[in-house]
Chains A and B, each alone.
Chain A
Amino acid sequence: MMGSIIKRDWQDVRNNPGQALMTPVFFVLATLLFPLGLGTDPQLLTLAAPGLLVIAALFSSILPLETLFQADREDGTLDAILSSTGTLTFYTIGKLISHWLFCGLTLVLVAPAMAVTLGLGGYWLDVLYALLPATILLCLIGAFGSAITLGTKQGSILLALLVLPLYIPVMIFCAGAIDMIRAGESNFAPLLLLWAMAALAIPIMPLMIAAVLRFQIKT
């Protein structure tokens, strides 16, 4: 089940790369625009870069959320899976993995290059280390928000309202982690916290999301 979902989403990416790869594309565009807005003073850019990277990651993570489960709900896939196997857990896990692969991992891989453009070139590896747990959390929390607002009238605004408060701690620790390295301190603490949050979220969130999806289709 999980494998087939991931394979199917991979086909989607190949057929329609623009749609499926919204997140890394938007991330690149956003980070490229920041220097234009802030002026090119390299010291200012370097100081602001951790926050800018994280904000850009945040907004680009929200983009694909509204339609994450929408297509499957509308064409009846969710109903079919629920009635045939009785559980949406494996579907959810597969969907989350593919979501993270295309919208989270791509972000992690592209971010170091963007860090260079913002003046954080020497710390590209730390940017990668910090964004890895952060994107996992962003994907899990975002998918939860997406599941809860599935089928509402004012979907995207409600989604942003729900998801952003939950994103804030992730944002604080991720930006903090990058910033501490820039300032020359050890960023062990925020990284540890990020991974701790991810360790909590990874087993719990898929189950909660599956439960939410289940009640969404049943009513």
Chain B
Amino acid sequence: MITQFANPLRFQKLSRPLLWISNIGALILSLWGLYLALIGSPPDYLQSETVRIMYIHVPAAWLAMLCYSSMAFAALVFIVWKHTLAGLYIRAIAPVGATFTAICLITGSIWGYPTWGTWWVWDARLTSVLILFFLYLGVVALCDAFENRDKSLTAAAWLCLIGIVNMPIIKFSVDWWNTLHQPSSLSSFSQIAQPAIAGDMLTPLLVMAGAYLCLFATLAIIRLNNEILLRKLENARLRESRA
């Protein structure tokens, strides 16, 4: 199955209908989600209106982690099976993941000030997400570090693989250490069935998460196409300079 999707041309054909779906999904879900987040949901008992920041902070965190995990998977595929698309995917997606992580850090910091009284604290979750951000920057830098594009992508892939140890640390840091950050409310299936978070707040959260996911899909498709085009352009230029 992996070999079927490895063909760039096939991907380009598939990407057009997929792009339509994710565009429409992103539009609908984000408008609905923003409405719910800002107007259609109640303020928190303790945090008043600032809880609304949760609706853009938490999905950003989820996507930052999803993005990195997908990159690590692509890295594995690239290193082991040498699929071109997997390598291009890493280069395409790394800036997107970095952006989601930045949004998570910035909105989290803004949320932290009225809630905890501080813009930043060096607890386990915040520190490990910051590390995630630097890992993303490292991948972005590595993708262009060598003159040979394939070599750069392989190096970036290796970094992705090593950095995957950060993922469980981020996820479980609020369980393993006593931290200032709120423990997870949706971490197990029993919790999803009977969530520790109110339904009025769960809906906007999930809708925004869906919106973020569709946006991620859109960005992934456009940027992966860009990488394929870039490779085509570079090959064509190379051929021209030889001819």
- Chain A in direct contact with chain B (Cβ < 8 angstroms): yes
- Chain A residues in contact with chain B, CB under 8 A? 144, 148-149, 151-154, 158, 161-162, 164-166, 168-169, 172, 208, 211-212, 215-216, 219
Total A-B Cβ pairs within 8 A:
54
- The answer to whether A149 touches B151, judged by C-beta atoms less than 8 angstroms apart, is no
Q: Which of the 9-residue segments B41-49, B111-119, B156-164 touches chain A?
A: B156-164
Q: In the docked arrangement, what's the CA distance between A153 and B142, Å? A: 11
Q: Which residues of chain B are within 8 angstroms of A215 by Cβ–Cβ distance?
A: 151, 154
Q: Which residues of chain A are within 8 angstroms of B195 by Cβ–Cβ distance?
A: none
Which residue of B has the minimal Cβ distance to A219? B151
Q: Which residues of chain A are within 8 angstroms of B163 by Cβ–Cβ distance?
A: 165-166
- Interface status of B134 (Cβ within 8 A of chain A): yes
Count contacts on B: residues with CB < 8 A to the other chain: 23
- The answer to whether A169 touches B169, judged by C-beta atoms less than 8 angstroms apart, is yes
**Known pairs A149-B145, A161-B141, A208-B161 / 11 extra A-B pairs, C-beta < 8 Å:** A152-B145, A153-B145, A161-B138, A162-B159, A166-B131, A166-B163, A168-B127, A169-B128, A208-B162, A215-B154, A219-B150
- The answer to whether A219 touches B142, judged by C-beta atoms less than 8 angstroms apart, is no
- The answer to whether A219 touches B145, judged by C-beta atoms less than 8 angstroms apart, is no
- Interface status of B135 (Cβ within 8 A of chain A): yes
- Interface status of B9 (Cβ within 8 A of chain A): no
Which residue of A has the minimal Cβ distance to B138? A162
- The answer to whether B127 touches A172, judged by C-beta atoms less than 8 angstroms apart, is yes
Q: How far is the CB of A128 from chain B (nearest CB, A)?
A: 26
Partner among B130, B134, B150, B158 whose Cβ is within 8 Å of the Cβ of A208 = B158
Q: Which residues of chain B are within 8 angstroms of A149 by Cβ–Cβ distance?
A: 142, 145, 155
- The answer to whether B151 touches A148, judged by C-beta atoms less than 8 angstroms apart, is no
Which residue of B has the minimal Cβ distance to A155? B145
Q: In the docked arrangement, what's the CA distance between A149 and B152, Å? A: 9
Q: Which residues of chain B are within 8 angstroms of A168 by Cβ–Cβ distance?
A: 127, 131
Q: Which residues of chain A are within 8 angstroms of B21 by Cβ–Cβ distance?
A: none
Q: Which residues of chain A are within 8 angstroms of B148 by Cβ–Cβ distance?
A: 219
- The answer to whether A158 touches B141, judged by C-beta atoms less than 8 angstroms apart, is yes
- Interface status of B137 (Cβ within 8 A of chain A): yes
- Interface status of B172 (Cβ within 8 A of chain A): no
- Interface status of B146 (Cβ within 8 A of chain A): yes
- The answer to whether B146 touches A144, judged by C-beta atoms less than 8 angstroms apart, is no
Q: In the docked arrangement, what's the CA distance between A11 and B26, Å? A: 63
Q: Which residues of chain B are within 8 angstroms of A165 by Cβ–Cβ distance?
A: 130-131, 134-135, 138, 163
Q: Which residues of chain A are within 8 angstroms of B141 by Cβ–Cβ distance?
A: 158, 161-162
Q: Which residues of chain A are within 8 angstroms of B146 by Cβ–Cβ distance?
A: 151-152
Which residue of A has the minimal Cβ distance to B155? A148
Q: In the docked arrangement, what's the CA distance between A208 and B154, Å? A: 13
Q: Which residues of chain A are within 8 angstroms of B161 by Cβ–Cβ distance?
A: 208
Q: In the docked arrangement, what's the CA distance between A164 and B137, Å? A: 12
Q: How far is the CB of B3 from chain A (nearest CB, A)?
A: 22
Q: How far is the CB of B74 from chain A (nearest CB, A)?
A: 17
Against A, the Cβ 8 Å flags (1 = close, 0 = not) of B34-55 are 0000000000000000000000
Q: How far is the CB of B97 from chain A (nearest CB, A)?
A: 14
Which residue of B has the minimal Cβ distance to A163? B138
The 22 sampled A-B contact pairs (Cβ below 8 Å) are A144-B162, A148-B155, A148-B159, A149-B142, A151-B146, A152-B145, A158-B138, A158-B141, A162-B159, A164-B134, A165-B130, A165-B135, A165-B138, A166-B131, A166-B163, A168-B127, A169-B128, A172-B127, A211-B158, A212-B155, A212-B158, A219-B151
Q: Which residues of chain B are within 8 angstroms of A161 by Cβ–Cβ distance?
A: 134, 137-138, 141
Q: How far is the CB of B198 from chain A (nearest CB, A)?
A: 35
Q: How far is the CB of B103 from chain A (nearest CB, A)?
A: 19
Kindly name the residue among A144, A151, A154, A166 whose own CB sees the greatest number of chain B CB atoms within 10 A.
Answer: A166
Q: How far is the CB of B84 from chain A (nearest CB, A)?
A: 15
